[in-house]
Amino acid sequence: MSVTDSRSLTELAQALANGDTSSVALTEAALTRIDALDGALNSFITVDRESALRDATAADARIADGSAAPLTGIPIAHKDIFCTRGLRTSCGSRMLDNFTPPYDATVVERLRSAGAVVIGKTNMDEFAMGSSNENSFYGPCKNPWDLNRVPGGSSGGSAAAVAAGLVAAATGTDTGGSIRQPAAFCGITGLKPTYGLVSRLGMIAYASSLDQGGPMARSAEDCALLLEAMAGHDPRDSTSAQRPVANYREQLAQSLDGLRIGIPKEYFGEGLDSGVAAVIEAALKEYESMGATLHEISLPRTALSIPAYYVIAPAEASTNLSRYDGVRYGHRCDNPKDLEDLYTRSREEGFGAEVQRRILVGTYALSSGYYDAYYKKAQQVRRFIAGDFASAFESVDVIAGPTTPGIAFALGSKTSDPTAMYLEDIYTLSVNLAGLPAMSLPAGFSQGMPVGLQLIGQHFEEARLLGAAHQFQQRSDWHRQTPKLELPA
Amino acid sequence: MSVSGDTIREIAQLARLAVEDDELPALTSSFNAILDLFEQLQAAPTDGVEPMANPLDASQSLREDVVTETNQREALQAVAPLTEDGLYLVPRVVD
Give tens-digit pLDDT for B63-74.
899 998 899 999
Of A463, A452, A385, A399, the C-alpha closest to A193 is A463
Residues 37-76 of chain B with CB under 8 A from chain A are 37-42, 44, 46, 49-56, 58, 60-61, 63, 72, 75-76
Within a 13 Å sphere around the CA of A63, how many CA atoms are in the beta-carbon half? 26
Question: Is B15's CB within 8 Å of A318's CB?
Answer: yes
CATH node for B5-43 = 1.10.20
| Average pLDDT for B30-39 | 95
Chain B interface mutation, best of A91, A234, A312, A380, highest count of B Cβ atoms under 10 Å = A380
A42: left (phi over 0), alpha (psi -120 to 50) or beta: left
Residues 182-241 of chain A with CB under 8 A from chain B are 194-196, 209-210, 235, 238-239, 241
Provide, as residue numbers in chain A, all residues whose Cβ is less than 8 Å from the Cβ of B74.
none
Question: Is A239's CB within 8 Å of B18's CB?
Answer: no
- Separation between Cα atoms, residue B63 and residue A242, nearest integer Å: 13
Q: Does A102 touch chain B (CB under 8 A)?
A: yes
Exposed, middle or buried, B90 (CB in 10 Å: 0-12/13-18/19+)?
Answer: middle
- Number of domains within chain A: 1
- The reply to whether A285 belongs to the active site is no
Say if A379 falls within a structural domain.
no
- Position A486 scores a pLDDT of 67
- Separation between Cα atoms, residue A303 and residue B37, nearest integer Å: 11
Count of A-B CB contacts under 8 Å? 168
* B14, B41, B54 ranked by CB distance to A367: nearest: B14
- The reply to whether A391 belongs to the active site is no
Q: What spatial distance separates the first Cα and last Cα of chain A, rounded to whole Å? A: 16
- Separation between Cα atoms, residue A181 and residue A432, nearest integer Å: 13
Instruction: Look up the domain containing A18 and give its range.
Output: 9-255+473-480
Mind telling me how many Å the CA of B49 is from chain A's nearest CA? 6
Question: Is A304's CB within 8 Å of B44's CB?
Answer: yes
Q: Does A260 touch chain B (CB under 8 A)?
A: no
Question: Is B30's CB within 8 Å of A419's CB?
Answer: yes
- Three-class HEC string of chain A: CCCCCCCCHHHHHHHHHHCCCCHHHHHHHHHHHHHHHHHHHCCEEEECHHHHHHHHHHHHHHHHCCCCCCCCCCEEEEECCECECCECCCCCCHHHCCCCCCCCCHHHHHHHHCCCEEEEEECCCHHHCCCCCCCCCCCCCCECCECCECCCCCCHHHHHHHHCCCCCEEEEECCCCCCHHHHHHHCCEEEECCCCCECCCCECCCCCCCCCEEEEECCHHHHHHHHHHHECCCCCCCCCCCCCCCCCCCCCCCCCCCCEEEEEHHHHCCCCCHHHHHHHHHHHHHHHHCCCEEEEECCCCHHHHHHHHHHHHHHHHHHHHHHCCCCCCCCCCCCCCCHHHHHHHHHHHHCCHHHHHHHHHHHHHHCCCCCHHHHHHHHHHHHHHHHHHHHHCCCCCEEEEECCCCCCCECCCCCCCHHHHHHCCCCCHHHHHHCCCEEEEEEEEECCEEEEEEEECCCCCHHHHHHHHHHHHHHCCHHHCCCCCCCCC
- Separation between Cα atoms, residue A315 and residue A321, nearest integer Å: 10
- DSSP secondary-structure letter at B83? E
Residue from A90, A93, A131, A154 carrying the catalytic annotation: A154
Say if A62 falls within a structural domain.
yes
- Position A311 scores a pLDDT of 97
Q: Does A335 touch chain B (CB under 8 A)?
A: no
- Position A1 scores a pLDDT of 35
Provide, as residue numbers in chain B, all residues whose Cβ is less than 8 Å from the Cβ of A212.
none
Say if A23 falls within a structural domain.
yes
- Separation between Cα atoms, residue A130 and residue A140, nearest integer Å: 11
pLDDT band at B62 (very low <50, low <70, confident <90, very high): confident
- Position A47 scores a pLDDT of 98
Say if A212 falls within a structural domain.
yes
Q: What is the dihedral of CA B62, B64, B70, B76, to 10 degrees?
A: 20
**Sequence letter at residue A267:** Y
Residue from A22, A23, A43, A79 carrying the catalytic annotation: A79
* A101, A196, A378 ranked by CB distance to B41: nearest: A378
Say if A338 falls within a structural domain.
no
Say if A214 falls within a structural domain.
yes
Mind telling me how many Å the CA of B92 is from chain A's nearest CA? 7
Provide the CATH number for the domain around residue A41: 3.90.1300.10
Provide, as residue numbers in chain A, all residues whose Cβ is less than 8 Å from the Cβ of B42.
373, 377
Q: Does B87 touch chain A (CB under 8 A)?
A: no
Residue B41 predicted with pLDDT over 50: yes
Say if A77 falls within a structural domain.
yes
Question: Is B12's CB within 8 Å of A101's CB?
Answer: no
- Position B38 scores a pLDDT of 95
Say if A200 falls within a structural domain.
yes
Question: Is B8's CB within 8 Å of A418's CB?
Answer: no
- Position A488 scores a pLDDT of 56
Q: Does B8 touch chain A (CB under 8 A)?
A: yes
- Separation between Cα atoms, residue A441 and residue A216, nearest integer Å: 10
pLDDT digits (tens), chain A, 489 positions: 356 788 999 999 999 999 999 999 999 999 999 999 999 999 999 999 999 999 999 999 999 999 999 999 999 999 999 999 999 999 999 999 999 999 999 999 999 999 999 999 999 999 999 999 999 999 999 999 999 999 999 999 999 999 999 999 999 999 999 999 999 999 999 999 999 999 999 999 999 999 999 999 999 999 999 999 999 999 999 999 999 999 999 999 999 999 999 999 999 998 999 999 999 999 999 999 999 999 999 999 999 999 999 999 999 999 999 999 999 999 999 999 999 999 999 999 999 999 999 999 999 999 989 999 999 999 999 999 999 999 999 999 999 999 999 999 999 999 888 888 899 899 999 999 999 999 999 999 999 999 999 999 999 999 999 999 999 999 999 999 999 886 655
- The reply to whether A209 belongs to the active site is no
Q: Does A356 touch chain B (CB under 8 A)?
A: yes
Provide, as residue numbers in chain A, all residues whose Cβ is less than 8 Å from the Cβ of B44.
301, 304, 377, 380-381, 384
